[in-house]
C-alpha cells in the first residue's frame, strides 16, 4: 500500500452543509471556498455554488454541486476539504440524502436570529439516519436580533442533539468561519476505505454537458481510478473508457487519479444520462467489485400538470426543450398528452410545486416557449369494480363512476414548526385542508405540529396560506405516507355548455359545492369579455352547481382614445397583443392562462 496515499486519506474531510432555506448555506459555502483560495477575489461571484442563472435570481440551490478545497489548518497541516452542496427546499429533500451519502460529516447551519425550522429538523434527521457526524453552526451571529442561547436550546429540545459546542459564525462577515473549518477537521472523521480493493465509486450526481457528454460526480469508496481505465457501471451493465478524472475547485481541474476517499468527476464519453444513473456504482471492467454499493431508490414525481404550447405549431419545439431539460434533470418526467381543449401537449411530473415553477420558467426563458399550464394535481389510485387498480395523474381521465369502487388519494405526513402565537391560525388552516392532527408538542418558543393531510390540498395553495397565517414564521416539511380511500368527486367546468377537459379537478365531496361556485365566479372574472355572452358552469356529472355569465363586449378598446393620440392607441393595442400571447382558443372562446390556474386563486 502506498504510504503517501494512506497519509492523505487521513487528511481528507468530506462534508455537506445542511440548513433550512435562507439560513445562509450558500453564503457560508462561498466564504469557505474563498478562505481556501478556491477562487480569487475577481473570480468570486456572489454565490458561486448556485451556478444556474435562475438559481441566482431566486436565491435557491437546485442542483447539488461540489468543491474540493485545500486548507491549512491551525495545526499547520494541509487538509483536503470536499464540500458537497445540498439544496434546502422541501421539494429537493431527496437530493440532500444523496449528497450526504458521500460524506462523513455535515454542518447544520441554523440562523441564530430565526432558530430551528422544519427543514433544519428534516435534514438533520436525514444526516443522523445516514450515520453522518453533525456539527451545529449558529449563523448570522452579526445580527442584533441573534439569540444564540435560545437557538442552542431549540436545537437540543427540538432535534435532540448536543449543541453546547455549536460554532458561532457570520457567513456574511466571515467571523468564525475558520472555527467552522477547524471543527470540520477535529470533529468529522476522515473517510474509511481500502485503496487496494477493486474500485467502487458511488455516482452522487450526473448531468449532461454539451462538450464532453455525461459528467459523473462520484465518491470513491475503494480503489483507484485513472484515465484510460475501462469502467463498468454496475446497474446499467455498460462499459466505457474513462477519459478524464478530476475535481471541482469549484473550477474543473483534471487529476492523474481519483482514489478511495475522494470526491470528484469522471468523464467517459457517455452520451445518455440514463446509463450513468445517480446511485449506480462505478467499478473497473477487468477487476470488478464483487457487489455494488447500496444505491438510492428512484425518486417518483409527486405533482403533475399539463404543459401546452400556446401556438400548436410549437409542439415539436416544446418536445425538444423538454428533452433537453430532462438531460440535466432526471426527476422531470413527461409524456405526450392530448386535450380536447388545449390540443397536443405534455403531462409532466414534478417533485413539487417549486420544481414545476422552475421547469416552467426555464422553458419560457431559456427555450422561449409560450405555455399554458394546467392546475397541478396529484396521482390518484382508482380501485375498479372488477378489482383492477389503476393510477391517474389527470382528473379528466377519471373512468366512468359506475365502474369505480373507490378513489384513493395520497396522504402525507406533514410536520409544521410554528411560534406559539400563530398555532391557532395554523390549526384552523390544517383543519380546513382536511388535516388530522397526530401530535402537538411545545418546544420552548415553538410548537411542532404533526398532521396527516391529503396531498392534493397541499399542492393547491397550502404553503402560501401557511406563510400568510403565520406571517412567514411557520415552516413545513412533508413526506408521502400512503394512498387512502376518500369521498372524492370530479368537478367539471363547462364553457358555453362544452366541458373543458383541461379544467377538470378532483375534489372532496364536502367542499365540492363551494369550490364549484367559487371557481365559476373566479372564471368569470378571469375570462375577458368577448364579442358574445359566455356562460361558465361548474358541474359534477350532470348536476350543475353554478352558472356565471361573462357579458358580451360592447365597446372596442380604442373607444377610450378619443382624439388622435396615435402613441396611446399603439400602446393599448400592444398591451392587448401581449395579453393575447397567453390565451388559448377553446371552441370560440379565448381563455387566458390565469383561468387554467383559477383553482389556486380561490379561498
Ligand X SMILES: Nc1nc2c(ncn2[C@@H]2O[C@H](COP(=O)(O)OP(=O)(O)OP(=O)(O)O)[C@@H](O)[C@H]2O)c(=O)[nH]1
Cell triple for residue 582? 397567453
Q: What is the DSSP string of 435-470?
A: -EEEEEEEETTEEEEEEEEEHHHIIIIIHHHHHHHT
Q: Is residue 240 within a helix (H) or strand (E), and if so which, with residue range?
A: strand 238-241
d(CA 267, CA 143): 44
Q: What is the DSSP letter of 155?
A: I
277 phi/psi in degrees, rounded to 5: -70, 140
* Least distance from ligand X to the Cβ atom of residue 168, Å: 10
**35 lies in the binding site for ligand X (CB under 6 A):** no
**Whole-number minimum distance, CB 387 to ligand X, in Å?**
46
Strand partners, 309: 371
Q: Which residues contact 578 (CB under 8 A, 6 or more apart)?
A: none
Please say which residue, 114 or 374, places its beta carbon nearer to ligand X.
114
Nearer to ligand X, 58 or 226 (CB): 58
Nearest to 478 by CA among 448, 456, 458: 458
**Could you say which residues in the range 125-184 bind ligand X, by CB under 6 A?**
139-140, 142-143, 170-172
Q: Give the residue with the Cβ less far from ligand X, 170 or 302.
A: 170
Among 38, 88, 301, 435, binds ligand X (CB under 6 A): 88
Q: Is 63 in the site for ligand X (CB under 6 A)?
A: no
Which lies closer to ligand X via its Cβ, residue 24 or residue 516?
24
Does the protein bind ligand X through residue 93 (CB under 6 A)? no
Question: Taking a C-beta distance cutoff of 8 angstroms, is the pair 358, 54 a contact?
Answer: yes
Assess contact for 559 and 546: CB atoms under 8 A: no
Is 179 marked within a binding site?
no
Minimum Å gap between C-beta 354 and ligand X is 10
Cα separation, 307 vs 318, whole angstroms: 9
Give the residue at shortest CB distance from ligand X.
Answer: 88
Cα–Cα distances (Å) from 575 to 554, 557, 571, in that order, read: 19, 10, 6
CB of 19 vs ligand X, minimal distance in Å = 5
The nearest distance, CB 141 to ligand X, in angstroms, is 7
If the CB atoms of residues 150 and 172 are measured against ligand X, the closer one turns out to be 172
Point out which span in 24-32, 298-306, 495-503, 589-597 binds ligand X (CB under 6 A). Answer: 24-32
Interface segment toward ligand X; rule CB under 6 A; list 18-26, 209-217, 302-310, 320-328 = 18-26
Instruction: Tell me: does residue 60 bind ligand X (CB under 6 A).
Output: yes
Stretch that binds ligand X, among 58-66, 270-278, 398-406, 508-516 (CB under 6 A): 58-66
Calculate Rg over the CA atoms of the chain.
Answer: 27
Asked if 484 and 434 count as a contact pair (C-beta separation under 8 A), the reply is: no
Least Å distance, CB 113 to ligand X, is: 8
Contacts of 566 (CB under 8 A, 6+ apart): none
Under the criterion CB under 6 A, does residue 84 sit at the interface with ligand X?
A: no
Q: Judged by CB, which is closer to ligand X: 127, or 493?
A: 127
Q: Which is nearer to ligand X, 19 or 379 (CB)?
A: 19
Residues making up the annotated binding site for GTP are: 22-27, 139-142
Q: Interface residues with ligand X (CB under 6 A)? A: 19, 21-27, 59-61, 88, 139-140, 142-143, 170-172
Amino acid at each position: 500500500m502506498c504510504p503517501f496515499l494512506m497519509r492523505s486519506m487521513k487528511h481528507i474531510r468530506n462534508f455537506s452543509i445542511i440548513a433550512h432555506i435562507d439560513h445562509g448555506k450558500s453564503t457560508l459555502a462561498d466564504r469557505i471556498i474563498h478562505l481556501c483560495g478556491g477562487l480569487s477575489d475577481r473570480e468570486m461571484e456572489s454565490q458561486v455554488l448556485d451556478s444556474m442563472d435562475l438559481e441566482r435570481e431566486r436565491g435557491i440551490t437546485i442542483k447539488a454541486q461540489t468543491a474540493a478545497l485545500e486548507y491549512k489548518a491551525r495545526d499547520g497541516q494541509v487538509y483536503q476539504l470536499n464540500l458537497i452542496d445540498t439544496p434546502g427546499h422541501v421539494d429537493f429533500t431527496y437530493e440532500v440524502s444523496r449528497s450526504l451519502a458521500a460524506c462523513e460529516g455535515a454542518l447544520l447551519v441554523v440562523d441564530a436570529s430565526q432558530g430551528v425550522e422544519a427543514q433544519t429538523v428534516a435534514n438533520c434527521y436525514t444526516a443522523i439516519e445516514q450515520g453522518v457526524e453533525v456539527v451545529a453552526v449558529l449563523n448570522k451571529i452579526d445580527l442584533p436580533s441573534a439569540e444564540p442561547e435560545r437557538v442552542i436550546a431549540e436545537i437540543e429540545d427540538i432535534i435532540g442533539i448536543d449543541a453546547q459546542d455549536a460554532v458561532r459564525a457570520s457567513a456574511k462577515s466571515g467571523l468564525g468561519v475558520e472555527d467552522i473549518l477547524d471543527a470540520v477537521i477535529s470533529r468529522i472523521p476522515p473517510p474509511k476505505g481500502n485503496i487496494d480493493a477493486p474500485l467502487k465509486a458511488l455516482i452522487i450526481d450526473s448531468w449532461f454537458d454539451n462538450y464532453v457528454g455525461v459528467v459523473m460526480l462520484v465518491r470513491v469508496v475503494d480503489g483507484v481510478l485513472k484515465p484510460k481505465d475501462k469502467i463498468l457501471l454496475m446497474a446499467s451493465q455498460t462499459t466505457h473508457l474513462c477519459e478524464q478524472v478530476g475535481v471541482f475547485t469549484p473550477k474543473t481541474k483534471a487529476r492523474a487519479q481519483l482514489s478511495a476517499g475522494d470526491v470528484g468527476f469522471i468523464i467517459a464519453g457517455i452520451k445518455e444520462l440514463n446509463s450513468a444513473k445517480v446511485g449506480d456504482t462505478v467499478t473497473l471492467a477487468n477487476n470488478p467489485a464483487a457487489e455494488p454499493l447500496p444505491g438510492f431508490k428512484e425518486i417518483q414525481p409527486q405533482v403533475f400538470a399539463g404543459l401546452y404550447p400556446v401556438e400548436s405549431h410549437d409542439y415539436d419545439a416544446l418536445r425538444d426543450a423538454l428533452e433537453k431539460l430532462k438531460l440535466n434533470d432526471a426527476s422531470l418526467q413527461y409524456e405526450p398528452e392530448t386535450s380536447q381543449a388545449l390540443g397536443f401537449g405534455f403531462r409532466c411530473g414534478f417533485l413539487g410545486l417549486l420544481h414545476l415553477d422552475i421547469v416552467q420558467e426555464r422553458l419560457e426563458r431559456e427555450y422561449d416557449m409560450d405555455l399554458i399550464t394546467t392546475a397541478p394535481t396529484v396521482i390518484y389510485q382508482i380501485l375498479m369494480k372488477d378489482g383492477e387498480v389503476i393510477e391517474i395523474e389527470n382528473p379528466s381521465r377519471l373512468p366512468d363512476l359506475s365502474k369505480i369502487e373507490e378513489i384513493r388519494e395520497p396522504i402525507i405526513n406533514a410536520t409544521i414548526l410554528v411560534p406559539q402565537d400563530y398555532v391557532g391560525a395554523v390549526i384552523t388552516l390544517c383543519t380546513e385542508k382536511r388535516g388530522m392532527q397526530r401530535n402537538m408538542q411545545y418546544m420552548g418558543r415553538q410548537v411542532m405540529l404533526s398532521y396527516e393531510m391529503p396531498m392534493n390540498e397541499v399542492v393547491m395553495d397550502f404553503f402560501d396560506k401557511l406563510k400568510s397565517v403565520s406571517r412567514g414564521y411557520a415552516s413545513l416539511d412533508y413526506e408521502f405516507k400512503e394512498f387512502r380511500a376518500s369521498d372524492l368527486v370530479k368537478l367539471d367546468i363547462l364553457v358555453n355548455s362544452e366541458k373543458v377537459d383541461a379544467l377538470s379537478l378532483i375534489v372532496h365531496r364536502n367542499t365540492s359545492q363551494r369550490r364549484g361556485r367559487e371557481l365559476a365566479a373566479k372564471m368569470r372574472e378571469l375570462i375577458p369579455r368577448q364579442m358574445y355572452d359566455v356562460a361558465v358552469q361548474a358541474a359534477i356529472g350532470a348536476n350543475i352547481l353554478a352558472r356565471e355569465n361573462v357579458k358580451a363586449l360592447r365597446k372596442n378598446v380604442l373607444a377610450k382614445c378619443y382624439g388622435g393620440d396615435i402613441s396611446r392607441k399603439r400602446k393599448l393595442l400592444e398591451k392587448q397583443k401581449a395579453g393575447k400571447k397567453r390565451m388559448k382558443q377553446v371552441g370560440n372562446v379565448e381563455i387566458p392562462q390565469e383561468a387554467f390556474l383559477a383553482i389556486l386563486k380561490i379561498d
